[in-house]
Structure 1
């Protein structure tokens, strides 16, 4: 990694989309968009691209017969060890007897450790909805219970349930998530029975516990499938519910008995029992 990189900032007075198209044709580097400004970063020289964009502004003004200006700034910036900064920013998390931490942090020998490296596939435990699920799983999971994690993301909930003694299945509509969850199970020396890419409709059995940490609209859309996936007298744990949607979600699941309602900040987690 070089000690410096070049940063080109471009702010057109109008016709932003045309300038973006032009910039994308001139460079294959990632472009950041911020408040009407395009930011291009590269370890290579960006002076030629700056000249090309300024020439484009002049030609566009002539073509549209009106003044179009482009404010451009080219800077040399210090490279930093972003990986080290990122690692230092990720904090481990205690949720009662669970200790959620990234792979570069040591286990706590007095807790149940769940190792999750934050990544694109969603879920390191810090979000209020994941926290609520982790807390409630510890209250309701008993050894040898069967559990399905719907919308598993990183697999954090299913891994925790497995370490609490449950026999777990997982699913997610995003293949990246199911791949990530499988890898995280290996990293945690935990086991699952089945994992599939797809939703709850593809299940082949009913479960003692079904957990779904998904946004409220999707919970409502899947209400019938989620309820039918639960054994008689089994539990359904729902999370991802903002306070302004809680009444709407509860109304959709009125055929089930409300066992517990947990709130952390503006987010709710529900525990429902199939009658």
Structure 2
């Protein structure tokens, strides 16, 4: 073990946090910690090139989205210690009604539906407000035999949760690392899915009783037509990743659907819409 290690703190605008997390996951296989809107990487290897890539990504994303993105970074050199053990100790299990989300090194709760997710693998450990909202609402609207599509699946936590509620699940993500991670997490939870693919909702082959998309408002708006078409007549679309300042814009874009429920946790919204 080296005497020192490098620690990189990345704090992007909250509205694009999931995009930065996915991007960083695609560049690095180091353990990642999420802390109060910051992404923290630790490595004995040099992290300068990763920092350069994040800064370049910020510029490209600013151009693509058409508005300024704030980014704060901090690169530190620290004395080495058993930070992996410290990191594991810092990860707290989470109850969301009947779900108990916990990492593989923490014992499950026999009285709950256990979901094992190791947070370093991919975005979606249940602690973020958007994931929490989706987990809460899936328990309300998913039953045995529900056919569900998880768009932008990340770690697969929402698909696994739906499966534990009895759903038949398909899932997709544009990031190969995310779909690989989801497959591993399904194995970890001894659960199965119907179909998974790397790509977006356009590659679907059928319509679904429930479609869930926990992304960000801009991407939800961009995919609005395809997301609505993926839902069966009378089916439900669960949208999350929506900051309070964008919720009216998202509702307007999906105005052809009936608003069934609007859930808010902190500044984040999750919407349940029904296809007429």
Q: Which has the higher contact order (CA 8 A, sep 6+)?
A: 2
Give the structure 2 partner of residue 89 of structure 1: 90
| Deviation (angstroms), 1:220 | 0.3
- Cα displacement (A) at 1:30: 2.5
2:128 maps to 127
1:120/1:6 CA distance change after superposition, 3 Å: closer
State the Cα deviation string for residues 90-141 of structure 1 (Å, max 9, x = none): 0000000000000000010000000000025211000000000000000000
Unaligned residue ranges in structure 2 (runs of 5+): 7-44, 52-70
Asked if 1 retains the 8 angstrom alpha-carbon contact of 2:155 and 2:182, the reply is yes
What corresponds to 1:5 in structure 2?
4
**Quick one: structure 1 residues 262 and 38, their matched pair in 2 at CA, closer, same or farther if it must change by over 3 Å?**
closer
2:180 is matched with: 179
Partner of 2:29: none
Give the structure 1 partner of residue 234 of structure 2. Answer: 233
Q: Indicate how the Cα distance of structure 1 residues 273 and 91 shifts in structure 2: closer, same or farther if over 3 A, else same.
A: same
The answer to whether the aligner puts 1:149 opposite 2:154 as a matched pair is no
2:35 corresponds in structure 1 to: none
2: CA distance, partners of 1:214 / 1:37: 26
SS in 1 for 2:162: helix
Q: How far apart in 2 are the matches of 1:237 and 1:252?
A: 14
Q: Which residues in structure 2 correspond to 1:1-275 (within 5 Å)?
A: 1-2=1-2, 4-5=3-4, 29-31=46-48, 39=76, 41=77, 78-275=79-276
Instruction: Give the secondary-structure state (helix, strand or coil) at the position aligned to 1:196.
Output: strand
Q: CA RMSD in A?
A: 2.0
Report how far residue 5 of structure 1 moved. 2.8
Q: Tell me the SS of whatever aligns to 1:270.
A: strand
**How many matched pairs?**
218
Q: Structure 2 CA distance, aligned partners of 1:36 and 1:147?
A: 38
TM-score scaled by length of structure 2: 0.75
SS of corresponding position for 1:181? helix
Change beyond 3 A, Cα 1:6–1:163: closer
Cα deviation, 1:135-187, whole Å, max 9, x if unaligned, reads: 00000001001000000000000000001100000000000000000000000
Tell me, in whole angstroms, the C-alpha distance in 1 between the residues paired with 2:163 and 2:181: 16
- TM-superposition CA deviations, 1:47-106 (whole Å, max 9, x none): xxxxxxxxxxxxxxxxxxxxxxxxxxxxxx642101100001100000000000000000
From the CA coordinates, give the structure whose radius of gyration is larger: 1
Given that residues 175 and 199 in structure 2 are in contact (C-alpha distance below 8 angstroms), is that contact kept between their aligned partners in structure 1? yes
Q: What TM-score do the two structures reach when normalised by structure 1?
A: 0.76
Deviation at 1:38, TM superposition (A): 6.3
